[in-house]
Structure 1
Amino acid sequence: MFVSYILSKVRSYMRYRETIRELSLLSDRELDDLGISRFQIESVARQNAFA
């Protein structure tokens, strides 16, 4: 049980980092089309990964 909990946390963190990486590669225009500003990237990634 403990191992599966740790694995789920590691997967969530990996998803968080991947989301940040992908959103950071977008231009400001592309982010604006998604309704996201550059300073919101970490918040959006956190909501996506840990929800």
Structure 2
Amino acid sequence: MFVTMIAAKIRSYLRYRETVRELSRLTDRELDDLGLSRSEIPFIARTHAVI
């Protein structure tokens, strides 16, 4: 049970980092096309990863 919880937290964190990395690679113009600003990236990533 404990190991499963830890593994789930690690997977969530890895999803968070991947999302931050991918969104950070976009230009400001591309982010604007998506309706996002650079300052929203951590929030979007946390929402996606469900940390």
TM-score by length of 2: 0.94
Q: Does 1:16 align with 2:16?
A: yes
Work out the number of aligned pairs and report it.
Answer: 51
- Identity among equivalent positions (%) equals 63
CA drift of 1:33 comes to 1.0
Q: C-alpha separation between the residues in 2 aligned to 1:10 and 1:35?
A: 29
Gaps of 5+ in 2: none
Q: C-alpha separation between the residues in 2 aligned to 1:24 and 1:10?
A: 21
Q: Deviations over 1:9-46 (max 9, x none)?
A: 00000000000000000000110111110000000000
TM-score by length of 1: 0.94
Q: Deviating runs (4+, > 4 A) in structure 1?
A: none
